[in-house]
């Protein structure tokens, strides 16, 4: 047996299988469902490596569609008897959750559409990043930044690893004229990939959150959560009333949606309370020598003398990046602990969600990291 590097069985799937057996109605269908479920669980536990998400996601979607179609045909062709209502409801709920989850997963990992117009032209392209780590076996990121021609900037949204290495070797690519939103069709070798072309190093477009939206969300969070929880509880009561002992099967999705609504309301209210604090400038530095607004950003800032913390931004809007580049500072809404926090700008109706993490130790002022000259 060939062992994969770092391979460990995923024992947690056995726990999921056990929970499924407990909630599954104990009837004649269990004789078929039990061995099939156990075989699938063994695959999930012991298979060391699955195909890539982009390859696996559409396969899962088609399997979910086929499963839902079979269930729908079976319910129409042979309606369940009253004593089989529990099993039918359970199978329908599982099929609906599987289909919805697979569609959401496929949407999150599918390849972006390739857009552009006009004929392709060849340009000189230089990767604006340190690629030496590729020689040590690290795969290139699928999102790459490239300087093209004399004054253009290109963000490759989904560049395959082989094409990234070829681009580093040849420093040449072909692209079409950008449309009104800056989208282009990029050809590296024989492979097409989508890209975003700009005349400024603005990377992916980003828009900060507005206070108006945060205020409305904070006002609606608790009533919305109460309505959702009341609705799912009423659904459980109605299911028990009309279906008798099989109505308890609705309790699990009810607990899920009710807990999700309560967690969302708590997070929204906590974020709004964070924005009520004072806006304080903080000395900040960068983890790298440049900032691509609209792209992921990592750096550090000094909370107080001798206490630096890291911050991570998923999508940095241009105005926040300009403040960090020009003045080497960020404006932080005071928060008592590390975790989710908010950056702002004086006099602007917008804020930026960030993630703060402690560096792990306090250091003396003379040991503080030196600010990187970004430009």
Q: Quote the CA–CA distance of 156 and 154 in Å, as a whole number.
A: 6
Instruction: Examine the domain organization and report whether 338 and 277 are in the same domain.
Output: yes
Q: What are phi and psi of 56, to 5 degrees?
A: -80, -35
* Locus of tokens 């930044």: 145
Q: Is residue 230 one of the residues assigned to a domain?
A: yes
* Residue 335, pLDDT score: 66
18 falls within a domain = yes
Adjacent-strand bridge partners of 339: 356
Nearest to 351 by CA among 362, 340, 363: 340
| Cα–Cα distance for residue pair 69/63, rounded to 1 Å | 10
Question: Quick one: pLDDT at residue 81?
Answer: 78
- Does residue 72 lie in a domain region? yes
Q: Please indicate, yes or no, whether residues 185 and 266 belong to a single structural domain of this protein.
A: no
In a shared domain, residues 237 and 292: yes
Whether residue 6 is contained in a domain is answered as: no
Query: Is the same domain home to 247 and 366?
Result: yes
- pTM score > 0.85 for this model? no
Q: Is residue 184 in some structural domain?
A: yes
Tell me how far apart the alpha carbons of residues 163 and 187 are, in angstroms, rounded to a whole number: 9
Q: Are residues 229 and 254 located together in one domain of the fold?
A: yes
> Do residues 200 and 182 make contact, with C-beta atoms less than 8 angstroms apart?
no
Asked which of 91, 109, 127 is the last residue of a domain, the reply is 109
Quote the CA–CA distance of 217 and 318 in Å, as a whole number: 25
Question: Are 347 and 302 a contacting pair, CB within 8 Å?
Answer: no
* 198, 224, 252 - which closes a domain: 198
Q: What is the mean pLDDT of each run of 10 residues along the chain (375 residues)?
A: 49 77 70 77 74 74 86 83 76 84 77 73 84 76 80 81 88 86 85 83 68 90 90 83 70 78 87 84 77 75 78 80 81 75 85 80 42 39
Q: How much is the pLDDT for 222?
A: 92
The 3-state secondary structure of the chain reads CCCCCCCCCCCHHHHHHHHHHHHCCCCCCHHHHHHHHHHHHHHHHHCCCCCCHHHHHHHHHHHHHHHHHHHHHHHHHCCCCHHHHHHHHHHHHHHHHHHHHHHHHHHHHCCCCCCCEEEEEEEEEEECCCCHHHHHCCCCCCCEEEEECCCEEEEECCCCHHHHHHHHHHCEEEEEECCCCCEEEEEECCEEEEEEEECCCCCCCCCCECHHHHHHHHHHHHHHHHHHHHHHHHHHHHHHHHHHHHHHHHHHHHHHHHHHHHHHHHHHHHHHHHCCCCEEEEEEEECCCCCCCCCCEEEEEEEECCEEEEEEECCCCHHHHHHHHHHCEEEEECCCCCEEEEEECCCCCCEEEEEEEECCCCCCHHHCCCCCCCC
Final residue before a domain boundary, out of 70, 93, 109 = 109
When divided into structural domains, the chain yields a total of 3
The rounded radius of gyration (Å) of the Cα atoms in the chain is: 26
Task: Examine the domain organization and report whether 69 and 188 are in the same domain.
Answer: no
Alpha-carbon distance 186 to 155, whole Å?
10
> Which residues does residue 117 pair with via DSSP β-bridges, in sequence order?
177
Rounded to whole angstroms, how far apart are CA atoms 64 and 72?
Answer: 12
**Domain encompassing residue 155:** 117-198
Please report whether residue 277 resides in a domain: yes
Distance CA 145, CA 113 (A): 18
Tell me if 350 is assigned to some domain.
Answer: yes
């Amino acid at each position: 047996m060939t062992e994969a590097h770092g391979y460990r069985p995923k024992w947690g799937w056995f726990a999921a299988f056990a929970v499924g057996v407990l909630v599954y109605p104990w009837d004649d269908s269990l004789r078929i469902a039990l061995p099939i479920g156990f075989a699938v669980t063994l695959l999930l536990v012991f298979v060391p490596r699955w195909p890539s998400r982009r390859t696996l996601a559409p396969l899962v979607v088609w399997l979910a569609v086929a499963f839902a179609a079979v269930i729908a045909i079976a319910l129409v062709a042979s309606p369940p008897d009253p004593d089989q209502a529990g099993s039918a409801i359970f199978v329908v709920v599982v099929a609906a959750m599987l289909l919805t989850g697979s569609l959401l997963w496929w949407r999150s990992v599918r390849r972006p559409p390739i857009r552009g117009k006009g004929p392709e032209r060849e340009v000189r392209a230089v990767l604006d990043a340190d690629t030496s780590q590729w020689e040590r076996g690290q795969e290139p990121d699928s999102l790459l930044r490239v300087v093209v021609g004399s004054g253009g900037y290109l963000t490759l949204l989904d560049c395959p690893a082989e094409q990234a290495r070829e681009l580093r070797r040849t420093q040449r690519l072909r692209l079409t004229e950008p449309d009104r939103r800056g989208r282009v069709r990029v050809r590296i070798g024989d492979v097409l990939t989508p890209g975003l072309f700009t005349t400024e190093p603005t990377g992916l477009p980003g828009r900060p959150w507005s206070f108006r939206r945060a205020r409305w969300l904070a006002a609606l969070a608790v009533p919305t959560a109460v309505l959702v929880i009341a609705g799912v509880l009423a659904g459980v009561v109605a299911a028990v009333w009309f279906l008798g002992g099989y109505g308890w099967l609705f309790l699990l999705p009810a607990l899920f949606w009710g807990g999700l609504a309560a967690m969302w309301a708590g997070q929204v209210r906590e974020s709004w309370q964070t924005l009520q604090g004072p806006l304080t400038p903080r000395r900040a530095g960068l983890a790298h020598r440049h900032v691509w607004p609209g792209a992921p950003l990592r750096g550090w800032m000094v909370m107080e003398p001798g206490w630096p913390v890291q911050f991570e931004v998923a999508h940095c809007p241009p105005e926040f990046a300009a403040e960090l580049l020009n003045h080497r500072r960020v404006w932080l809404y005071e928060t008592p602990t590390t975790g989710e926090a908010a950056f702002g700008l004086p006099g602007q109706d917008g804020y930026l969600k960030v993630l703060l993490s402690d560096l792990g130790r306090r250091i003396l002022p003379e040991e503080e990291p030196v600010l990187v000259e970004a430009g």
